[in-house]
Amino acid sequence: MEYRQLTKEDAKEYRDIRLEMLQAEPTAFGESYGENLKYDIGFFEDRIKNSNIFVACVEGKLIGTAGSFIQDKIKVAHKAYLWGVYTNPTARGAGVSYRLVSNVLDALPESVELIQTTVVSGNAPAIKTYEKAGFQEWGIEEKALKVNNQYYDEIHMVKFLK
């Protein structure tokens, strides 16, 4: 297993795993498969450029992702957001997501004081991974996502770095 940061040259492979994750786990992410299917490769190049995305690879194939971004507004530049954490079902249970989240955390600049994320309530493996990485729940957003006319609550989590 190799862990590394994505580069612009990885845009096609990143698009493939992004579509995989959105199709396989439609209730786990705020974006939809259909939306992402319409985006050209430039969209994924920009996402890589504007975020800090790590991947897990087996024999060159991406099998996991985790990313973060920091807003460029002065008042919120001390916060980062963890997003897009996914591990292909064939590799689950081996700590891949935890390792990816750890890579994201290790790569945060010194100026970041806290990192936030959300997780659909009931997703026990993801909650366990985030708690292991030091995140704690701070609130619940009811009806945060609506997928196929069904609502899903999201747990808001934070890890204070300073």
98-144 per-position pLDDT tens digit: 999 999 999 999 999 999 999 999 999 999 999 999 999 999 999 99
Per-residue pLDDT at 65 exceeds 90: yes
26-63 per-position pLDDT tens digit: 999 999 999 999 999 999 999 999 999 999 999 989 99
CATH classification of the domain holding 119: 3.40.630.30
Q: Which residue has the tokens 């996991």?
A: 64
Residue burial 7-19, b: 16+ Cβ < 10 Å; e: rest: eeebbebbbebbe
CA 155 to chain CA centroid, nearest Å: 14
pTM for this predicted structure: 0.95
Q: In what order do the strands lie in the sheet with 114-120?
A: 2-5, 52-58, 61-70, 79-87, 114-120, 150-160, 136-147
70-103 per-position pLDDT tens digit: 988 999 999 999 999 999 999 999 999 999 999 9
User: Domain tally for the chain?
Assistant: 1
Residue spans of beta strands (DSSP E) within 45-135: 52-58, 61-70, 79-87, 114-120
Query: Would you place residue 6 in the very low, low, confident or very high pLDDT band (cuts 50, 70, 90)?
Result: very high
Provide the token pair at 151. 């609502």
Residue span of the structural domain in which 56 resides = 2-160
